[in-house]
A and B are shown apart, each in its own frame.
Chain A
Amino acid sequence: MSDLSGRKVILHDMCLRDGMHAKREQIPVEQMVKVATALDDAGMPYIQVTHGAGLGGNSLQHGFALASNEEYIEAVASRMKQAVVSVLLLPGLGTMKELRSAYDSGARSVHVATHCTEADTSPQHIACARELGMDTTGFLMMSHLSDAASLAQEAKKMESYGANTVYITDSAGFMLPEDVTQRITALRDILKPETEIGFHGHHNMGLGISNSIAAIAAGASRIDGSVAGLGAGAGNTPLEVFIAVCERMGIETGVDLFKTMDIADEIIFPMMDHIVRVDKDSLTLGYAGVYSTFLLHAKRAAERFGVPARDILVELGRKKMIGGQEDMIQDTAMTMAKQRGLLKQSF
C-alpha cells in the first residue's frame, strides 16, 4: 500500500469517443452499445461516446461517423444501468444547439474543451451545460504547451463560468510525471476546494499510467483513460492496467478489474483496425508534442503526397499547429511535397 491508499478516483472511459479517432470514426452503433453495456456492467462510472471530435464533429475536416451523435448517445444512454453518458464539445466546432440536442438524447456530462490558453472561448457552452444540469468539465487541451501558473489562470476562468471540474489534458502525450505534478498542484492551489481536478493522458511516451498516478498524488480525483487504450495516437491511458495499479496502491476506483481486463481482450482488442501502441509515428507525436489525432491524417497525407508521416508530424509541431487544424496536415504535406519536387504548383 502507498501514501495514496484510500483515495477515491472517478474513472471516465474514452474508448467510444477518443477511440473513434483510432477507428476512423467507423464504430457501428451496435458495437458501441456492446462496449458500453459491458463497461456499465463492470462499474465504469462515466462513459464518453460520439464522434472523435465530439459534438459537431461530423465534417470533411474530421471525417463522418457511421451514425449521428444523437443516434450514438440515445442508443447507449437508454441501456445504461449506472454509468453516466458524457460528450465532448469544442467551441468553434460544436455549438450550444448541439449540446442541447445531446442532452435531449441522454448525455448528462460534458467535457467543454479549449486549447489550453483559450479558456475564454468557453463561457457560453459551460454556462449552457450547467443550466441543463449537466456534470460540466472544463478541458484544457495541449496543456504541455503552457506553464503551470498560466494553466491555473485558465482553469480559474472555467471555474468562474461554472465548470465543476477542470482537466489538465495531455493531448500530445508529451508530459513527464513532474510536468503533471506541477500543473495539477498549481490548479489545486488556486481552485475552490469543491472544484474537482482531472487528468487526461495519452500513452505516446508510455507514461499514461505514471502520469495519472502523479496527477492523483497532486490532488486530481478524476482520470480519463480507455480500456485497452483505444484512442488517438498510442491511445489513452489503458484503464485495465491503471485499475490494476490503483488496486495495488489502494486507490479506490469502484470498477471491477477482472471484468475490465476481459472487455479489453475480448471486445476492444478485436475491434482495432491497427494495434494501438507506441510505434515510430505515435512516439513522434509524444516526442515532438503534436496533437495525437493528427496521426492517421498524417499517414494518409504521407501516402497521397509521398512525404513520410514522421516528417509531416515534426513540421506540424514546429509550426505549432493545435487540435482542430487537421486541414493544415494536407496543406503542410503539399507544401513539403512541392519543396521536394514531388508535386507541381497548380497555378
Chain B
Amino acid sequence: MKKIRCALIGSGNIGTDLIYKIQRSEFLEPVWMVGIDPESEGLTRAAAMGLKTTHEGIDGLLPHVLEDGIQIAFDATSAYVHAENSRKLNELGVMMIDLTPAAIGPLCVPPVNLKQHAEKVEMNVNMISCAGQATIPIVSAVSRIQGVEYAEIIASLSSKSIGPGTRANLDEFTYTTSNAIEVVGGAKKGKALAIINPAEPPMIMRNTIYCLTEGEPDEEKITASVLAMIKEVQKYVPGYKLVNGPSFEGNKVAVFMEVEGLGDYLPKYAGNLDIMTAAATRTAEMFAEEILAGKIQLNPVEVAS
C-alpha cells in the first residue's frame, strides 16, 4: 500500500522516537532525518534505520523534497527556528507538524480537535507540549459536561527524559501549555506547572489535572466523560492510565494520571516523550489517510510579499 513520505527535523529525543512510531504506521513512511551535528547520535541512528540524513539543517533537506515526494514534515527543533522551517517547507507544499512550543499554527490534541484540522487542510498544526497532550483531553472531558472556570495541570517528568532544549526554554513550555488549556481544553483560565524529578530509577510521567467547575460538579457525568476520554487516548497511547480520581471536593475536580511509554527510544518511564510523538503520528496519519483517499490535497503556500 502507498504511504505518505515524511521528513523529521531535529535529531534529539523526540525526533529519534518519532522514527519508531512512523515506521510502524500503515500510512506514513520516514524518509529523511535532518540534524545540525554530523556527530549526533540521532543522525547516526536514523541512518542505521534506513533514513536519508543531512547535518546541514533544513537547507540540506530542501533540494530533495520534491524528488523524494515528501508531503509531511515533523519539526522537533526549537521554537526559535520553527517559523523559518515551516515557511520553507510550506512553500514546497509540505504540511508541517510542529512539536516545538512555537505554536504558529492551530493547536492540536487528537481526541479533542484533530478532525476539525484535517477538514480545514491546515498546513501547520502544533502539538503544544507533552504535558498538554497528557492533560488537555481530561480538561476537555470535564468542560464538555460543565463549564470550567479554571484548570490547572501539574506535569512531573523524569529528569532523564527532558532534553537540553526544553530545559533551557522552560518558560515557552509553560506559556504554550497554559494557553492551550484554555484554547483547546475549554477552561476559562489555564495554568501549567512542570516539575523535573531526578529520582532513580526514573519516575514514570505523572500528571494531575484540577478543574474548578461552574457550580457544583455533576460527579456521575464527569466521571463517565473522563473514563470515556481516557479510552480515546489509549487508542494511540496504551500506557495512559488513571491512578486516582476523579476526586471531588467542593467545585474542585482532581484527576491523577500516569503515562507509561512504549519504550521505543527512551525507556518506558518517558511517557512524556511517547504521548507527544504518538499524538504527532496520529495527527499525521489522519492527514495521510485523507490525502491517500484523495479527499484533500496539499498545495504550496504562496509567500506573502
Q: Which one of A118, A124, A334 contacts B169 once the chains associate, using CB atoms below 8 Å?
A: A124
B202-246 near A? 1/0 per residue, CB < 8 Å: 010010101010000000000100010000000000000011111
Report yes or no: A330 in contact with B254, Cβ–Cβ below 8 A: yes
Report yes or no: A331 in contact with B243, Cβ–Cβ below 8 A: yes
Determine if B300 is an interface residue (Cβ-Cβ < 8 Å).
no
Report yes or no: B169 in contact with A95, Cβ–Cβ below 8 A: no
Q: Which A residues are CB-close (under 8 A) to B152?
A: 59-61
Bound: A97/B172 CA distance, A: 11
Chain A's nearest CB lies how many Å from the CB of B190? 11
Report yes or no: A347 in contact with B170, Cβ–Cβ below 8 A: no
Closest residue on chain B to residue A58 by CB atoms: B191
Binds B, one of A132-140, A177-185, A262-270, A321-329: A321-329
Report yes or no: B194 in contact with A92, Cβ–Cβ below 8 A: yes
Report yes or no: B154 in contact with A121, Cβ–Cβ below 8 A: no
Report yes or no: A95 in contact with B196, Cβ–Cβ below 8 A: no
Report yes or no: A91 in contact with B247, Cβ–Cβ below 8 A: no
Determine if A280 is an interface residue (Cβ-Cβ < 8 Å).
no
Bound: A167/B277 CA distance, A: 38
Q: Which B residues are CB-close (under 8 A) to A324?
A: 154, 193, 195
Q: Which one of B170, B193, B206 contacts A124 once the chains associate, using CB atoms below 8 Å?
A: B170
Q: Identify the interface centre among A95, A117, A121: most chain B CB within 10 Å of its CB.
A: A121
Determine if B164 is an interface residue (Cβ-Cβ < 8 Å).
yes
Closest residue on chain A to residue B154 by CB atoms: A327
Bound: A319/B167 CA distance, A: 23
Closest residue on chain A to residue B192 by CB atoms: A92
Closest residue on chain B to residue A142 by CB atoms: B198
Closest residue on chain B to residue A124 by CB atoms: B171
Q: Which one of B171, B242, B254, B256 contacts A91 once the chains associate, using CB atoms below 8 Å?
A: B171
Q: Which one of A92, A121, A320, A331 contacts B199 once the chains associate, using CB atoms below 8 Å?
A: A320
Q: Which one of A91, A96, A145, A331 contacts B208 once the chains associate, using CB atoms below 8 Å?
A: A331
Q: Identify the interface centre among A97, A321, A335: most chain B CB within 10 Å of its CB.
A: A321
Q: Which B residues are CB-close (under 8 A) to A123?
A: 168
Closest residue on chain B to residue A145 by CB atoms: B198
Q: How large is the interface on B (under 10, 10 to 19, 20 to 34, 35 or more residues)?
A: 35 or more
Bound: A92/B197 CA distance, A: 12
Bound: A124/B194 CA distance, A: 16
Q: Which B residues are CB-close (under 8 A) to A61?
A: 152, 154, 193, 208, 210
Bound: A115/B199 CA distance, A: 11
Q: Which B residues are CB-close (under 8 A) to A120?
A: 164, 167-168
Bound: A331/B203 CA distance, A: 15
Report yes or no: A121 in contact with B196, Cβ–Cβ below 8 A: yes
Closest residue on chain B to residue A122 by CB atoms: B170
Say whether, besides A331-B208, A347-B227, A59 and B170 are in contact (CB < 8 Å): no
Q: Which A residues are CB-close (under 8 A) to B243?
A: 331, 335
A-facing residues in B170-194 (Cβ within 8 Å)? 170-171, 174-175, 191, 193-194
Chain B's nearest CB lies how many Å from the CB of A253? 35
Determine if B156 is an interface residue (Cβ-Cβ < 8 Å).
yes
Q: Which A residues are CB-close (under 8 A) to B249?
A: 304
A-facing residues in B245-264 (Cβ within 8 Å)? 245-247, 249, 252, 254, 256
Report yes or no: B227 in contact with A331, Cβ–Cβ below 8 A: no
Bound: A335/B243 CA distance, A: 8
B-facing residues in A138-192 (Cβ within 8 Å)? 145
Say whether, besides A118-B198, A324-B195, A95 and B159 are in contact (CB < 8 Å): no
Determine if A93 is an interface residue (Cβ-Cβ < 8 Å).
yes
Say whether, besides A92-B195, A115-B197, A334 and B170 are in contact (CB < 8 Å): no
Report yes or no: B247 in contact with A320, Cβ–Cβ below 8 A: no
Bound: A124/B166 CA distance, A: 11
A20-60 near B? 1/0 per residue, CB < 8 Å: 00000000000000000000000000000000000000011
B-facing residues in A75-103 (Cβ within 8 Å)? 91-93, 95-97
Q: Which B residues are CB-close (under 8 A) to A95?
A: 171, 174-175
Q: Which A residues are CB-close (under 8 A) to B223?
A: 346-347
Bound: A59/B195 CA distance, A: 15
A297-336 near B? 1/0 per residue, CB < 8 Å: 0000000100000000000000111101101101100110
The interface of chain B, by Cβ under 8 A from chain A, is: 150, 152, 154, 156, 159, 164, 167-171, 174-175, 191, 193-199, 203, 206, 208, 210, 212, 223, 227, 242-247, 249, 252, 254, 256
Give 16 CB contacts A-B under 8 Å. A59-B152, A60-B252, A118-B159, A118-B167, A118-B198, A121-B167, A121-B168, A124-B170, A319-B203, A320-B199, A322-B198, A327-B154, A330-B244, A330-B247, A330-B256, A331-B244
User: 7 tightest CB-CB pairs across the interface, nearest first?
Assistant: A320-B199, A327-B208, A92-B194, A324-B195, A334-B244, A117-B198, A331-B256
